[in-house]
Amino acid sequence: MSTKKYKDALEILIYQKPVDKSVFHRVKNALAKRGVVIEQSKEIDRWLVSKSTEAVTFSDGTMLMHSRVSASGFFEELIHYGQIKSGRADVCNEINNLLLEIEAKERLIKHKKAYRITDFEIVILTDILDKYKIQLTILKQEAEGYV
């Protein structure tokens, strides 16, 4: 994991206020009715920080979220949940994973007002998005035998 990615995840957690609690609980309760679990604890917080992220969604729909998850982190996992549920996520395919990450970040940036994402988060999301696009270009070139 890159130091910059680790720094970005920590910056969001440290300097941003968490997602609005009423929004979080409303969405969490709606997802629970569908059998989707959002788990949070101090142990999960430590594990997520060690993985340089605010949240993660597993193929069964279980989501682990930092207790101070930002609006961008929260809504990004909801986007990933939709990608998984639609059958588009292939955890063994690095190009597919980057495409889904890019799609999620672009959606967050495009709908920043609706998701109540701060300018600070947008700067970090844009930086990560640019890096993912470069990684995707390199992976595609490698797959085509250009590298």
pLDDT digits (tens, 9 = 90+) for 100-131: 999 999 999 999 999 999 998 899 899 999 99
**Can you give the pLDDT at residue 11?**
66
pLDDT in tens, 134-146: 999 999 999 888 7
Q: Say what the pTM is.
A: 0.87
Is 2 a residue whose pLDDT tops 60? no
pLDDT score at 120:
87
Q: Which long-range contacts (CB under 8 A, 24 or more apart) does 35-38 make?
A: 35/61, 36/61, 36/62, 36/63, 36/81, 37/61, 37/62, 37/63, 38/63, 38/64, 38/65
Q: What is the pLDDT of residue 133?
A: 97
Torsion, Cα of 38, 103, 115, 123 (10° steps): 110
Q: What is the pLDDT of residue 30?
A: 96
- Which residue spans within the chain are E strands per DSSP? 38-39, 55-57, 63-65
The pLDDT tens digits for 76-100 are 999 999 999 999 988 789 999 999 9
pLDDT of residue 44: 96
pLDDT at 10: 67
